[in-house]
């Protein structure tokens, strides 16, 4: 986050200013299609109306908007500088999705050990460009900027590292590119944004998905024959759009008891609240718990409908099965995506499973009771989903 950019007195009057700041930083005034402007305008208006920003939080929120718009600008400039990047289609990508906190990250990073896949590294999500050779990454100011921002975030909120550690060089979620179109649930997560969220829920993310496809083509243009491994929990809200841009995608959907997954999600999101807003933590946590429960209940219901139109395209992985027998789950996944697990890859997979790097920074502890909800209340809108995947009765 670029703390050198002082926030404006009124965000709603700063549309021109945020563009001017980005142009000054990059030297380019091309932001591509103007489809991102409505969402950016609504977001800026919401930032005046909804949150109770602290002084520091106000600066952080503004710098985030600047950084994401700069990422879009850098992606468009890099596309112009990379003629022919879009010449080859993205064939049969492997896409991991599911309600947040159902094991998508652990599975994604475990499969990324297989170097036959290519993924979206965190720094390239922030600054899309053709992926350079790995040994040169530290030479890029964009890489160093992402690494410094992550360290600053973890210094300010150390518990966030244990809950969801990210590193500039590791693969991460493609939602970080989708948010460059400013129609994204991520803009409802960092600070209170109900007016933006109400607008977002009435919008299509089709333009954002088209932008994502082009960014993936751009980032992978130096490895056009390498199979993609992608991940984003939010895709279950938009499986129809995902299959529209990746008609031959192989999707892995993870499943977990919603009462546990959603309590973990709200705990993760609330860790950043003290950095952004003054007070209201108990109120915001309770509101967020109910919002996320309703949102993801709708998402899994919609996903089930879309899946019926794409038979054989989705493989289900139960969270407890993955933890009990990760290699067994991998065997199922590799059979589903029509790949083998070479003998020389198995030791590396086994080491990562044994090392449990997701726990290296401590345990993420949370309780649904902190958010004024019971487990039964959280499960109520998911009853059909829970019964279908047997998520509670026999898997506690």
Asked if residue 131 is part of any domain, the answer here is: yes
Q: What does the alpha-carbon distance between residue 26 and residue 320 come to, in Å, rounded to a whole number? A: 46
pLDDT tens across the length of the chain (396 residues): 444 578 999 999 999 999 999 999 999 999 999 999 999 999 999 999 999 999 999 999 999 999 999 999 999 999 999 999 999 999 999 999 999 999 999 999 999 999 999 999 999 999 999 999 999 999 999 999 998 887 887 777 666 554 456 788 899 999 999 999 999 999 999 999 999 999 999 999 999 999 999 999 999 999 999 999 999 999 999 999 999 999 999 999 999 999 999 999 999 999 889 999 999 999 999 999 999 999 999 999 999 999 999 999 999 999 999 999 999 999 999 999 999 999 999 999 999 999 877 665 566 678 999 999 999 999 999 999 999 999 985 543
Asked if residue 4 is part of any domain, the answer here is: no
Question: pTM of the full predicted structure?
Answer: 0.93
Asked if residue 6 is part of any domain, the answer here is: no
The CATH number that applies at residue 147 is: 3.40.50.300
Asked if residue 210 is part of any domain, the answer here is: yes
Question: Whose structure tokens read 């841009």?
Answer: 245
Asked if residue 367 is part of any domain, the answer here is: yes
Rg of the chain in Å (alpha carbons): 20
pLDDT of 155: 78
371-296-69 Cα angle (round to 5): 95
Q: What does the alpha-carbon distance between residue 332 and residue 334 come to, in Å, rounded to a whole number? A: 6
Task: Classify the C-alpha dihedral 242-128-183-149 as positive or negative.
Answer: positive
Residue-wise over 125-135: b if at least 16 C-beta within 10 A, else e? bbbbbbbeeee
Q: What does the alpha-carbon distance between residue 224 and residue 100 come to, in Å, rounded to a whole number? A: 30
Residue 257 is part of which domain span? 11-389
Yes or no: say if 98 and 104 are a contact pair by the CB < 8 Å rule.
yes
pLDDT of 2: 44
Asked if residue 396 is part of any domain, the answer here is: no
Q: What does the alpha-carbon distance between residue 143 and residue 124 come to, in Å, rounded to a whole number? A: 8
Distances (CA, A) of 88 to 217, 224, 225, 291: 8, 7, 9, 40
Asked if residue 83 is part of any domain, the answer here is: yes
How many domains are contained in the chain? Answer: 1
Asked if residue 48 is part of any domain, the answer here is: yes
């Amino acid at each position: 986050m670029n703390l050198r950019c002082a926030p404006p007195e009124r965000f709603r009057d700063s549309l021109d200013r945020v563009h001017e700041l980005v142009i000054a930083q990059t030297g380019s005034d091309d932001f591509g299609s103007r489809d991102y402007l409505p969402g950016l305008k609504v977001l800026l208006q919401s930032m005046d109306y909804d949150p109770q920003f602290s002084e520091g939080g106000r600066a952080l929120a503004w710098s985030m908007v600047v950084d994401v718009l700069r990422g879009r600008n850098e992606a468009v400039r890099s596309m112009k500088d990379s003629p022919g990047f879009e010449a080859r289609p993205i064939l049969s990508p492997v896409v991991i999705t599911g309600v947040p906190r159902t094991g998508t990250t652990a599975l994604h990073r475990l499969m990324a050990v297989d170097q036959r896949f290519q993924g979206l590294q965190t720094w390239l999500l922030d600054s899309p460009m053709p992926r350079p050779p790995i040994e040169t990454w530290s030479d890029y100011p964009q890489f160093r900027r992402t690494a410094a921002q992550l360290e600053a975030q973890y210094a300010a909120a150390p518990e966030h590292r244990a809950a969801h550690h990210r590193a500039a060089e590791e693969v991460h979620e493609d939602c970080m590119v989708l948010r460059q179109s400013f129609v994204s649930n991520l803009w409802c997560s960092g600070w209170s944004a109900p007016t933006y969220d109400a607008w977002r829920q009435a919008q299509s993310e089709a333009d954002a998905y088209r932008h994502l496809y082009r960014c993936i083509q751009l980032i992978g243009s130096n490895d056009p024959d390498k199979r993609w491994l992608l991940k984003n929990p939010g895709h279950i809200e938009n499986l129809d759009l995902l299959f529209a841009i990746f008609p031959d995608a192989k999707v892995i959907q993870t499943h977990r008891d919603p009462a546990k997954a959603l309590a973990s999600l709200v705990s993760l999101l609330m860790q950043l609240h003290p950095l952004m807003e003054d007070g209201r933590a108990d109120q915001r946590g309770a509101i967020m718990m109910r919002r996320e429960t309703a949102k993801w209940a709708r998402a899994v219901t919609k996903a089930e409908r879309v899946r019926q139109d794409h038979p054989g395209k989705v493989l289900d992985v139960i969270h407890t099965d993955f933890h009990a027998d990760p290699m067994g789950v991998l065997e199922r996944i590799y059979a589903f995506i029509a790949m083998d697990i070479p003998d020389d890859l198995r030791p590396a997979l086994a080491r990562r499973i044994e090392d449990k790097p997701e726990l290296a920074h401590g345990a993420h502890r949370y309780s649904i009771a902190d958010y004024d909800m019971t487990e039964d209340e959280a499960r109520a809108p998911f009853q059909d989903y829970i019964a279908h995947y047997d998520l509670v009765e026999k898997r506690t």
